[in-house]
Amino acid sequence: MIRLEITAEAVAWYGAIVASAAAIFSGINLWRDRARVQVGVNPGMSMYPEDPGEEGKTYTLISVSNRGRRPLTVTHVWFELEKDKGQRCLVADSVKGGPREVTEGKAVDYVLKDAPEVDLLAHKYVCVSDATGRTHRRKLVDALPKDKRKLLRRRTTK
């Protein structure tokens, strides 16, 4: 007859290994499931068909997408000259439309009419605020399409 003896030390090691694996697995799931915000800025766009009286006007399209698994509620979008200080330019479309929910893999767009007195490309950051109070900040240079990045870099080096 075969006798199998399990010691208390073996049970303790088994429990420690299983608990550690469960903690690592839970941490990976939390990290993977977080909301990941991607912000894109595309200035100099025109509307088609144009509204009467709006011929030749250009617009800036700000696209906020959620690459994560958790839904995100966008409350405000703005531009900043410096991080957490200085002039801010709030996008009126983000206030007028109210909070918008962005689910997994979806995007929401905000349209800003270009004004000659406000140079958006002089700002350093584009920021998105969500309903939980988090601010997602991205450098404006990184949020622009590649062809427009070169234009901005040429302006800043002059």
Please name the helix (run of DSSP H) or strand (run of DSSP E) that holds residue 110, with its range, or none: strand 107-113
Q: Is residue 1 part of a domain?
A: no
Whose CA is closest to 127, among 143, 115, 106? 143
- Number of structural domains the chain divides into: 1
Whose CA is closest to 121, among 90, 104, 144, 147? 144
> What Cα–Cα distance (Å) separates residue 98 from each residue in 9, 36, 40, 132?
59, 21, 20, 15
What per-residue confidence (pLDDT) applies to 84? 63
Q: Is residue 5 part of a domain?
A: no
Is residue 94 within 8 Å of 110, Cβ to Cβ?
yes
pLDDT tens for the chain, 158 residues long, are 778 788 899 899 999 999 999 999 999 988 888 778 889 888 888 888 777 777 778 888 889 999 888 888 999 998 888 766 667 788 888 888 889 999 888 999 998 888 776 777 778 888 899 998 888 888 888 888 877 776 666 555 55
What per-residue confidence (pLDDT) applies to 15? 95
Q: What angle is formed at CA 43 by the lines to CA 38 and CA 49, rounded to 5 degrees?
A: 110
CATH of the domain at 110: 2.60.40
Range of the domain at 103: 36-157
Q: Is residue 26 part of a domain?
A: no
What per-residue confidence (pLDDT) applies to 157? 54
Q: Is residue 29 part of a domain?
A: no
What per-residue confidence (pLDDT) applies to 122? 77
Hey, what amino acid is at 153?
A: R
Which residue stretches of the chain are H helix?
Answer: 8-33, 92-96, 140-143, 146-157
What per-residue confidence (pLDDT) applies to 33? 80
